[in-house]
Each structure stands twice: as structure tokens, then as C-alpha cells.
A and B are shown apart, each in its own frame.
Chain A
């Protein structure tokens, strides 16, 4: 898959030669059958047939041709099935669109508590993994440097010998799973093989939170924040809006609390090392080194206790000792936050991120107790698996026993420990000492390469399963398609090892479920569960909790140490690691959509970068794109510098999940592998790393300018941001709702001709900047819906990315500040896509009328008419048009093409493309409505971006229907258009952002000159 290379480059690249090899097999490995189109037609036929029977894979599974149309299925009409995917031990509910048996798009399941109909970008992209030609395509046994093709029977015969008796010498390494069935089978496994070890490990784990609660309450609990009730939210190195299994409900709840009302809106305080999208939403943000967060939180505690007479529960009294050393210079952050928290006791909450130590979480728990948060803004539920030891401990013990030769057979069921285990453990070396190793995985990855057996794993859309949401809601996972590469799921493997002759995921899951549905008719319940994707009312009850004085006291000293941690300096800075916002822990590194997705903050693609504060960059003499060598504990690696205002001084941030060597053709050698610096001693914050310039500079594949540009551009950009992304303080807005309208003035808009009238349905969109947090979900949704190609690193560097909707990210700095003296800056986001101007500048310049207006007011593109003059793109004031500079689909494998949405033309080379409000969705609904002879209902048409938005920031509807939601929003005082002074009459309008600074007068003010009565505001169109 070299589709990001132009032909000439292609010709020489080793990747290309590699690809050629793959096409003309010349070694054992490649002799495995490649996925052919015919094979897929069969598979599709089959799954369609089963889909007819509520799309189940019944025990008796045959390939049947699609000769007889299954009942209730019309070819060409997409169907949606509820299923789920488990990521890091929490299940997320999906509605997967299936077109003639091909799953083509992941959407959120509205009934699922962690999805609410939306999905993060990562999970949406996971559909690509299903069709990834790099996936492991058959069982392989590696012996004496030879690869042998094997069958499942071979494996199970082998396994039944190895995993026998009491299971002595056997160890199972599993990624964490929320699946009750897996838990049940694990239980059986432990009973059957008493001496076998079972290890669960996740590189990105919330264990610190779990153990923090254990310290505070004496037993592990799961934290369930309820931000909709919170008036004051304080995040300490926490990113609940993205880096959390329940990010969607959390951000939606927060958004609800931000809707303007007489009561005002909630206030968000964030203290973090590097910018997160949560930090982007903050009213007050403090950049603080990761190692200084405990100090800051302790200082807050001291402030609360000392100056606000907050009475902490008596169990925590000894805990207070630790506050003594707290001396963070939070400026007015700490006093302000303390006062605010006190003022909102019972409606305020403190959240700590998973990167902070358990003691810090414990301290937060104590403070939340003291502030009366528990029970209102925050509840606890029992941890689902109280018995297990924490992930780090587990893998450390495993490695120890591997080294000591205790383990003779290691079954790795999912996960990629060779790549993502803490570097100091030396997992790979230990693995070499184990005589029999098995790896079950989607890919033939780093771990698999070192294992004797590679078992192809079934993708979650290919297999049966179940799971639990963050709040415990029982969730079902059903296959939409036969395993494309003959893979099997963990459940099936376990079942087989437990001696089931015909291991069927379907049966196993049914068995588990039958226990859950205590009473009533199981079949009905089962059908409903399958249909809904969840079993309703299965969320866990809030736990009854009481602080545990003894464990708190025990943790006091540890906390004191953390609080007393030394400050980093520019010359021995700390390195803060974080789960990547795109490839997460590396599991999506072979996902082209994720790789090309611009990072929410840095806007970098195809790389992990080193985020550096401007001040630190100056002290170290670093500038954008410099390759620097970071060294810690003997290991070192190179990362490109990306200077980000708002980054904590002397604190370098980067993300995990890059530098893969066996990810696949997309993910190999992209970025650098930061796991190599990650040790069990410092999983998240690595103190005193060495920084050395290499003297080399690379072009970062970013989709937006670096913030520090030439003075003229910098000044102009700052001037424009305030009118492009209008923002004001809630108090000011409540006092004078028109303030938004007065932020821009221009002469009255007159056309040279009689304005066209638009009767009938007229589509329009509103994007609420107060809700958008820049999470990128819409970008991927659009890419999946509209067959938008991936262009690859080089083309992104050439500014040829194809995303139809992009999230413009601006740093807001004080007026008059020059590019070189920016220290801190607020971040604002503006989703930007075609705003469907009524007087579209692009239309009049097209010589062949390839873009023209439809009667319902959409600025349509006629792809097969376009000759590619690119004049429309030049004349587009928002530059939202995208041009196919090459044939970006040329090198796609047949299997990848199966993901295409047949409702949308796949654009050829030399053709312009752009957002059309998902015209195919509009037409689908319209046709349906016409058939039923009824008008289109409001909200019936949902463009892909709006559908998946976690915060419902995007609203679409009929402007001519006064009752429609869009009409109401357009009437809102916050609604304004971009660049309306050009008289383009945009159909998409924005709702201004509201901030809630303490006594703040954020933004607003009247744009000079004060307009004469006939002058207009930014609200036309």
C-alpha cells in the first residue's frame, strides 16, 4: 500500500520492492493465500445470508452463495447492526453499517452509555483494520528459521499436549478484557489448570486510579465522574474528554454544563504538562511539569485546609502531614481554584489523570470527600476484577518467572508485550528463554515475530463476544462478516483449550448471557440484546464507600516524597509520555486514517513529535523540526521538535505507539518508539532526560502553519482569530447577548443582481464552537463516509491532505505579542468544511460548471464533469476544496476497496472534491420520505460529522422549516457566519464560544468602528 508515493519515488522505495515481493510470492510466508476478490464475494455472500438471520453466525456455518435473497434484505440498502469493541478493558458499543454484507462504517450505538451514538476517531478507523491486507493471514509455526503453514487443528492438537494436566509451566498473557465470557473461561481455565499462571497487562492502564481508590477506601474502585452536575471541574493532568474509556459521556456531560443559561455555566480548571483537548476547553489552565502535579494538588489541599478551613474527613488527618512540603508556585491558580471549589462544595469535582501516582489519586479522593463531591459529581463502583494484581506487577512477575525458566509454554492472547512492555523488564530477552511461545494477534507483530506460533486473531467485527461499559452496562459483540483470514477470537481459543470439540464463540457468549438473564424468556431477551447491542439496566450500582484511615496513613510518606519531587530544569528536563491521541498504545499504527489524522494540538501527521515550550526551546536553542536526541537510562531516541505555547517549561511531551517495526506497511518506521525510554520505575514521567541537538532538521507533516511565523502574518492571524472564532465571557454574554453580533462590522451587503429566492427544503448547518473540543471524530467519520483517500506523509508535507472537514486550531495570544515572545496561549478550535455559500465564489469561476448550486441550496460538485482547473479552490475563501493531485486509490488492494461506501463516487486523479453535506444521506432520506409520501422530519438527515460528534456540536436541518432545530440555532444570539462581509451568504454558521473565567471579561467588546445604523453584523447568510 504505497498510495502516498508518486510513481517515480515509488519505483525506488524498498517498500515498493517489498510490495512487489508480496505480489509474487517467493518465500514460505507469502505462500499463504492472499485475499482475493472471489474469496471475498463468497465471504460476503455468506455473511449476508447469516445477516438475514439477525446476522448471527449460527453454530452450523456454511458458505452459501447469495443466490436466494434472505428475507427482509434489499440488495444495495445498507443495514446497521449493533456490536461492540473492547479497548483496554472497557467495551464501546457500535452500530456498524453493512452494505450487502460488507461492514463499511463504524458508528456509535446510541443506547450504549459510553457511546451515546458517537465514537472517537480511533474506533471509527478500526474498520480499516478489518480489511487490512497486512493482517495475519493464517497460522504459522516458526521452527529453525523456517515458517510452516499450519491449521487450527494442528495448533489445538499441539496445545492439548502442552497445556495439560495441572498446567504447570504454562502461562497465559492476556490483554485486559471486560468480557464476562472471557472472565468465565479464565475462571474455568484456572480451575482446570491450577498451576498455570494468568497475567493481564495493558501498557496504557488506569491502574493508578484503581490503586489510589484502594489506598483511600481500602479496596479498588472505579471512578465515575458526573460532570453534568459539576459547576467547578478541576483536572490535574487528566484528559477526561479523550484519554478516558468514558470520554464521550464525560465530554457530552461537560458540554451540557456549558450551555448558556441564567444560572451561568460550569468552570473548568486544568493543570497539565502538555496541552490536551481538555486543556483546550479550560477557563483557567496552568502548565505544570508532570512531576510537579502532586505538589500542585497538595498545595491546593493545603490552601483549602489552611485558608478555607476545609475540614477533611478524620481518616485523612494523618494524610495532611504530606501537605507540609507542598510549595507549588501556582500563581493565582491555587488560590482561585481553592476559592472556587469552596464556593461550590457539593457541585465541584477534582479529577486526576492515569499518569499520576496512586497516592495522588488517593489525595484527590480525600479532597473530593472533603468537598462533598462523592455522591453528586462523582460516584464509585466496585472494580470488576478486584482480585488481579496491577498490570505492571503482573508483567514484572511474568518476566521474572520466564527468566527463571519456570515458564515453558507462554500463550500470548492479544497484546504486543515485546513492543510495549516497560523497557527495563527486557521482555524480548525473557521470551527467548521460553521454549514454546504462542501469539494470538490481528497482526504478525513484534511479539509474534519472536513467538513460535502465530495465530491469526478474528477482528471484533468477525467474532462473537461481550463486554462491559465503563459503568458496567453489559454489551454484546456480534460478527458482521466471516473471518476474512480464518482468524479466531480469544474466547474460541480458550474454549478449545478447555476441551470444547467445536469451540463456538456464539455458544460461549450465549452460555455466559443465559446466566445474566435470570428470569424471563431467554431467546427474546437474547434477540433484544443482540438488536440493542446492550442489556439494559446492567450498569453497576454505586459502591458504598468509606475512607480507610490506615492505608491513607501508610501512604502519607509516599505522597510526601512525590510532593517533594525536584523541579525539572531546561537542561535536565523531564519527558512526559502519553497515550497517542491517534494510534493509542500503538495498536492502530497500521491504520492509515489514524496516521494521517492531524493531531488535535500539534496538527502533526505521520509522526510523534516532541512538544517543547517556547521558553525551553529558546534555552536549548531548539526550533520547529529540529531532530533532537532524547536519552534516559542508557536508551536514547530521536524526535522532531514541535514548539507549543502552553507546554510546561522544562517539560517535554511526546506520545507512545510509534516507531513500530512490525506493524505493517503503513505503520512501520513511522515516528520513533518511545517505549524504549519507558521503565517500570517511571511509566509516565521520566525525570532528567538528556537532550542533544542532532543538527538535522525534518519537515513536520503538519496540516497547519507553525504558530511562530513572520511578524506580519502573526499579527494578521491574531487580528482575525477574534472575529473568526468569536468568544466571550458568560457574564458579559448574559448581560448583553448581542455582544457576539457586535464583534464584527462591515458595510451593508448588496448584490448587483436580484437575490435568488430559495423555496422548499434548504439545508443548513450550525457548528457550536462552545461544544467542539477538537477531538477529530468528525474528520474520520467524514473520511469513512465519503471514501476520502489517504495521501501519505510526503503529500501532507506538500499541503495536499484530503480531509473534507478539518479542525482549525489557533493559539490565542494577547494582542501586540510578537511571534517570539509567546509563552502561554489559549487554544481555540474551529471545525472548517464547505459552508455551502449561497453566492458561492467557487461556482462562478468554474469554466465547465462542474460545481453548481442545487435547488435545495447545496454547493454541489459534479466529479465526472470536473476537468481540474483548480480555479474553484483558488477562489474559495475558506480553502475547503481538496484536489486529487494523483490517483490516490491506485495502490489500494482489492480487500481495502471493500470498505468503500458505494453511495459515494471514488474520485479519480485530477478532480476537485469537497464536503457536500453528505448529499448521499440527504438523498437516501428524501427517497425514503417520498416513498412513504411524507415530509422529511427534522433531524432525520444526519451528516456523518454530526452523527459522530461526541458533544453534538454539529446540527443539520432545513432552514425553511421554522420549527427545525437548525432554525432555532440560527436565531440564537451566538450564531454568526464566517467571512459574511464577502456577501457569500454561508449556509453553515457558527455558535460563539463562551468562557467562564473568574471575574473574567474574556473577549467580546465592540469592533471599531461603531457601525452606522445601516451597517451589518456578521449574521447574514
Chain B
């Protein structure tokens, strides 16, 4: 790396940077900081909180997720699969005469169809959520961050990635400092 480029390496040891992390412990200050970072126009940045902080999505300007459509689709599939299964097995592949009843009649098939709907939808909800979140991801630079350890406990963090075009180590560091964090940490890849 040459010095004239906007520095994405650690000036001390020259190791490649992941980015910067700042931690807060007051929720109001944190949210304020978040809005500032958002307004600074960063794109590759995130916040890390021990629980869901309300209004944070708005503060970060996160778009609604597509998950519900996926789940709805999965539900439909489940329902269809349920009915198809019962129709094929009992009415087509091996029909038998039971209690003088019709070979195929929907009422008897509703419970199974319903359960299949729920099953498919529920699985898709979890799997979909993980997939969209890119989880499981067992190795991530942030896991090595010292501040991050408290993000699952009682601290609120903002992380800005070095990969962000607007990222400049010094400037960004100053920006974060200006938000009155408990601490700011440089995270290497």
C-alpha cells in the first residue's frame, strides 16, 4: 500500500484494516450517534446492540426485509404439497374403500394440509432469516474486537468498515470520537 491512497491499513503495523468500532452505553446518545453516522453518508457500516433497540432501523435507514414473501411462498408450497400428497397417495396411486366414503374428499385432508403449511413456512422463516443474514458465519473480523464482547451484554456499538468508499482512517476516527463514545477501536482483518 502506498501512503497517498486513503489509508486502509493500520499505520502502526501496516496490517489490513477491517474498520473502526465505537461503543456507547447510553441508548439516547447511541441513537444520536447513529443518525450522525448515517448522515455522514456511510454505506458499509452497522450497529451492534445486546437487544433490539427501537427506532434504530429508522435511524440507520434500513429497508424492509423480503422475508415475509419467502415465508408466504413456502407456506403455499406446504399447503399444496400437503393436499397433493394426500390426493396422490389415497386417490390415485393406491385408492382403497374406507367406511363407504368417497375416495377423495377435502374435509379429511385439511388437518394435514394445514400442518404442512405451517411446517414449511416455519422452517423457511428460520432458514430464510439466517440466509439473508449470511449466518452461520463463524469467523468474522468483528469477533476479534475487544469492544464487541460487550455488544451481547450491555454496550451499543457502531462499526464502520474500511471497505466503505467514504472511509478514511483518521477522518472517520475523528468523526466517531466526536460522537462521545466510551471508546473507539481499530479492528484489523
A residues with a Cβ closer than 8 A to B are 751, 753-756, 838-841, 843-844, 849, 852-855, 985
Which residues from chain B contact A753 at a C-beta distance below 8 Å? 101-102, 105
> How far is it, in angstroms, between the C-alpha of A961 and the C-alpha of B18 when the chains are bound?
90
- Of B96, B102, B105, the residue contacting A849 (CB under 8 A) is B96
Does B100 lie within 8 Å of A852, measured CB to CB? no
Does B101 lie within 8 Å of A852, measured CB to CB? no
> How far is it, in angstroms, between the C-alpha of A755 and the C-alpha of B100 when the chains are bound?
7
Type the 1/0 row for B95-114, where 1 means its CB is closer than 8 Å to any CB of A: 01111111001000000000
> How far is it, in angstroms, between the C-alpha of A838 and the C-alpha of B98 when the chains are bound?
9
> How far is it, in angstroms, between the C-alpha of A853 and the C-alpha of B95 when the chains are bound?
11
Does A844 lie within 8 Å of B101, measured CB to CB? yes
Which residues from chain B contact A756 at a C-beta distance below 8 Å? 97, 100-101
Number of A-B contacts (CB under 8 A): 34
Which residues from chain B contact A838 at a C-beta distance below 8 Å? 100
> How far is it, in angstroms, between the C-alpha of A855 and the C-alpha of B95 when the chains are bound?
12
Cβ-closest chain B residue relative to A845: B99
- Of A754, A844, A854, A855, the residue contacting B99 (CB under 8 A) is A844
List residues of B (113-150) whose CB comes within 8 Å of A's CBs. Answer: none
Does A854 lie within 8 Å of B97, measured CB to CB? yes
Which residues from chain A contact B102 at a C-beta distance below 8 Å? 753-754
> How far is it, in angstroms, between the C-alpha of A838 and the C-alpha of B97 when the chains are bound?
10
Which residues from chain A contact B98 at a C-beta distance below 8 Å? 843-844, 849, 852-853
Which residues from chain B contact A755 at a C-beta distance below 8 Å? 100
> How far is it, in angstroms, between the C-alpha of A849 and the C-alpha of B101 when the chains are bound?
13
List residues of B (154-183) whose CB comes within 8 Å of A's CBs. Answer: none
Does B100 lie within 8 Å of A855, measured CB to CB? no
> How far is it, in angstroms, between the C-alpha of A660 and the C-alpha of B97 when the chains are bound?
51
Does B97 lie within 8 Å of A839, measured CB to CB? no
Does B105 lie within 8 Å of A853, measured CB to CB? no
Shortest C-beta distance, B38 to chain A (Å), equals 58
The interface size bin for chain B is under 10
Which residues from chain B contact A754 at a C-beta distance below 8 Å? 102
Shortest C-beta distance, A929 to chain B (Å), equals 23
Cβ-closest chain A residue relative to B90: A849
> How far is it, in angstroms, between the C-alpha of A452 and the C-alpha of B146 when the chains are bound?
103
Which residues from chain B contact A843 at a C-beta distance below 8 Å? 98-99
Q: What 9 pairs between A and B have smallest CB-CB spacing? A: A853-B97, A844-B99, A839-B100, A843-B99, A852-B96, A756-B100, A843-B98, A838-B100, A839-B99
Does A852 lie within 8 Å of B97, measured CB to CB? yes
Shortest C-beta distance, A841 to chain B (Å), equals 7
Name the residue in A841, A843, A854, A855 with the highest tally of chain B Cβ atoms < 10 Å from its Cβ. A843
> How far is it, in angstroms, between the C-alpha of A853 and the C-alpha of B97 when the chains are bound?
5
Cβ-closest chain B residue relative to A853: B97
Shortest C-beta distance, B102 to chain A (Å), equals 5
Overall SS of chain B's interface: loop
Shortest C-beta distance, B124 to chain A (Å), equals 28
> How far is it, in angstroms, between the C-alpha of A266 and the C-alpha of B102 when the chains are bound?
49
- Of B96, B99, B105, the residue contacting A840 (CB under 8 A) is B99
Which residues from chain B contact A855 at a C-beta distance below 8 Å? 97
Which residues from chain B contact A751 at a C-beta distance below 8 Å? 100
Which residues from chain B contact A839 at a C-beta distance below 8 Å? 99-101
Cβ-closest chain A residue relative to B89: A849
Shortest C-beta distance, A873 to chain B (Å), equals 15
Which residues from chain A contact B97 at a C-beta distance below 8 Å? 756, 852-855
Shortest C-beta distance, B65 to chain A (Å), equals 40
With contacts A840-B100, A853-B99, A853-B100 known, what are 17 further pairs, Cβ within 8 A? A753-B101, A756-B97, A756-B101, A838-B100, A839-B100, A839-B101, A841-B99, A843-B98, A843-B99, A844-B99, A849-B96, A849-B98, A852-B98, A853-B96, A853-B97, A853-B98, A854-B97
Name the residue in B101, B102, B105 with the highest tally of chain A Cβ atoms < 10 Å from its Cβ. B101
Cβ-closest chain B residue relative to A849: B96
Which residues from chain A contact B101 at a C-beta distance below 8 Å? 753, 756, 839, 844
**6 contacting pairs across A/B (C-beta < 8 A):** A755-B100, A756-B100, A841-B99, A853-B99, A854-B97, A985-B100
> How far is it, in angstroms, between the C-alpha of A781 and the C-alpha of B101 when the chains are bound?
34
Which residues from chain B contact A844 at a C-beta distance below 8 Å? 98-99, 101
> How far is it, in angstroms, between the C-alpha of A756 and the C-alpha of B96 when the chains are bound?
13
Type the 1/0 row for B11-53, where 1 means its CB is closer than 8 Å to any CB of A: 0000000000000000000000000000000000000000000
Cβ-closest chain A residue relative to B107: A752
Which residues from chain A contact B100 at a C-beta distance below 8 Å? 751, 755-756, 838-840, 853, 985
Which residues from chain A contact B96 at a C-beta distance below 8 Å? 849, 852-853
Which residues from chain A contact B99 at a C-beta distance below 8 Å? 839-841, 843-844, 853
Shortest C-beta distance, A1020 to chain B (Å), equals 13
> How far is it, in angstroms, between the C-alpha of A756 and the C-alpha of B105 when the chains are bound?
14
Cβ-closest chain A residue relative to B96: A852
Which residues from chain A contact B105 at a C-beta distance below 8 Å? 753
Shortest C-beta distance, B63 to chain A (Å), equals 47
Which residues from chain B contact A985 at a C-beta distance below 8 Å? 100
Cβ-closest chain B residue relative to A862: B96
> How far is it, in angstroms, between the C-alpha of A839 and the C-alpha of B100 when the chains are bound?
5
Cβ-closest chain B residue relative to A852: B96
> How far is it, in angstroms, between the C-alpha of A853 and the C-alpha of B103 when the chains are bound?
12
> How far is it, in angstroms, between the C-alpha of A844 and the C-alpha of B102 when the chains are bound?
11
Shortest C-beta distance, B68 to chain A (Å), equals 35
Name the residue in B96, B99, B105 with the highest tally of chain A Cβ atoms < 10 Å from its Cβ. B99
> How far is it, in angstroms, between the C-alpha of A939 and the C-alpha of B102 when the chains are bound?
32
> How far is it, in angstroms, between the C-alpha of A176 and the C-alpha of B101 when the chains are bound?
61
> How far is it, in angstroms, between the C-alpha of A283 and the C-alpha of B181 when the chains are bound?
107
Shortest C-beta distance, A326 to chain B (Å), equals 63
> How far is it, in angstroms, between the C-alpha of A345 and the C-alpha of B157 when the chains are bound?
117
Shortest C-beta distance, A593 to chain B (Å), equals 34
Name the residue in B96, B97, B102 with the highest tally of chain A Cβ atoms < 10 Å from its Cβ. B97
Shortest C-beta distance, B12 to chain A (Å), equals 70
> How far is it, in angstroms, between the C-alpha of A853 and the C-alpha of B101 when the chains are bound?
10
Cβ-closest chain A residue relative to B102: A753
> How far is it, in angstroms, between the C-alpha of A923 and the C-alpha of B105 when the chains are bound?
32
> How far is it, in angstroms, between the C-alpha of A844 and the C-alpha of B96 when the chains are bound?
11
Cβ-closest chain A residue relative to B105: A753
> How far is it, in angstroms, between the C-alpha of A844 and the C-alpha of B99 when the chains are bound?
6
Shortest C-beta distance, B29 to chain A (Å), equals 62
> How far is it, in angstroms, between the C-alpha of A753 and the C-alpha of B105 when the chains are bound?
9
Shortest C-beta distance, B86 to chain A (Å), equals 13
> How far is it, in angstroms, between the C-alpha of A854 and the C-alpha of B97 when the chains are bound?
7
> How far is it, in angstroms, between the C-alpha of A853 and the C-alpha of B105 when the chains are bound?
17
Which residues from chain B contact A853 at a C-beta distance below 8 Å? 96-100
List residues of B (72-106) whose CB comes within 8 Å of A's CBs. Answer: 96-102, 105
> How far is it, in angstroms, between the C-alpha of A985 and the C-alpha of B105 when the chains are bound?
21
Cβ-closest chain B residue relative to A842: B99
Which residues from chain B contact A849 at a C-beta distance below 8 Å? 96, 98
> How far is it, in angstroms, between the C-alpha of A332 and the C-alpha of B165 when the chains are bound?
119
Shortest C-beta distance, B99 to chain A (Å), equals 4
> How far is it, in angstroms, between the C-alpha of A985 and the C-alpha of B128 when the chains are bound?
52
Shortest C-beta distance, B108 to chain A (Å), equals 8
Shortest C-beta distance, B22 to chain A (Å), equals 61
> How far is it, in angstroms, between the C-alpha of A337 and the C-alpha of B135 when the chains are bound?
98
> How far is it, in angstroms, between the C-alpha of A855 and the C-alpha of B97 when the chains are bound?
8
> How far is it, in angstroms, between the C-alpha of A756 and the C-alpha of B100 when the chains are bound?
6
Cβ-closest chain B residue relative to A983: B100
> How far is it, in angstroms, between the C-alpha of A889 and the C-alpha of B45 when the chains are bound?
76
Shortest C-beta distance, A850 to chain B (Å), equals 10
> How far is it, in angstroms, between the C-alpha of A404 and the C-alpha of B99 when the chains are bound?
76
> How far is it, in angstroms, between the C-alpha of A755 and the C-alpha of B101 when the chains are bound?
8
Cβ-closest chain B residue relative to A859: B99
Shortest C-beta distance, A866 to chain B (Å), equals 14
Shortest C-beta distance, A318 to chain B (Å), equals 73
> How far is it, in angstroms, between the C-alpha of A703 and the C-alpha of B166 when the chains are bound?
91
Name the residue in B97, B100, B102, B105 with the highest tally of chain A Cβ atoms < 10 Å from its Cβ. B100
Which residues from chain B contact A840 at a C-beta distance below 8 Å? 99-100
Cβ-closest chain B residue relative to A984: B99
> How far is it, in angstroms, between the C-alpha of A980 and the C-alpha of B105 when the chains are bound?
24
> How far is it, in angstroms, between the C-alpha of A921 and the C-alpha of B180 when the chains are bound?
95
Shortest C-beta distance, A20 to chain B (Å), equals 47
> How far is it, in angstroms, between the C-alpha of A294 and the C-alpha of B100 when the chains are bound?
60
